[in-house]
Amino acid sequence: MKTKLSLILITSSLFFSLFDLHITNAESTYTVKKGDTFWTISRKFRIGLSELIGANPQVSDPNIIYPGQNVTIPGFQSENSFEGQVTELTNRERHKKGLLPLQIDMKLSQVALYKSRDMRDAGYFSHRSPTYGSPDEMMKRFHISYNMAAENIAAGQMSPEEVVREWMGSPVHRKNILNPAYTHMGVGYAKGGTYGTYWTQLFCAE
């Protein structure tokens, strides 16, 4: 039986980015420089190593790339429709309590997806990422400002229904989902890794 995990973090702050770190939706091309590896390029563009390798099937050996070689940098893509289903199920729970639905926020969803992929690729399950730091630091680096924010994460659940059901069964996660102060949400899902699936929900009040 797969191990299933979930954690919650709530934070209150108001900040604006001090770092020049951007999210791109479009696919782009990068010219390899001396000393580059797929790993350093993936860190530079804040994408998963597996996504970068998968976007470059022309490279026969991912361990060997050369200066001057062009590699494809994949744009933002969700894994599948699971994110949308989590959003729908979350808003259904809010509707039962007479709460307004959360608006899906693309930037929050992109950050949530990067967090889920990072947990999968870096082999950890925690609110603190070895790549991006704390949720505060991560949202700050991706130019997100807020008055109040929270993060739910989970791992090992095999469907949107299962992960939302387990979050709703946990008082602290349920409190996030049903918090009337939150106005926007982002969802990220990644398949693979130690637990098989990784889920991230980001909530914020602007």
Closest Cα to residue 51, out of 33, 63, 38, 60?
Answer: 38
Statement to judge: residues 153 and 59 lie in one domain: no
Are 99 and 63 in a shared domain? no
pLDDT in tens, 147-205: 899 999 999 999 999 999 999 999 999 999 999 999 999 999 999 999 999 999 999 99
Percent over 90 (pLDDT), the chain? 60
40-54 pLDDT, tens per residue?
Answer: 998 777 566 777 888
Is 110 in the same domain as 153? yes
pTM above 0.75, yes or no: no
Which structural domain range is residue 64 located in?
28-73
Which CATH number goes with the domain that contains 130?
3.40.33.10
CA angle in degrees (0–180, nearest 5) for 85-25-133: 80
* 126 & 51 share domain: no
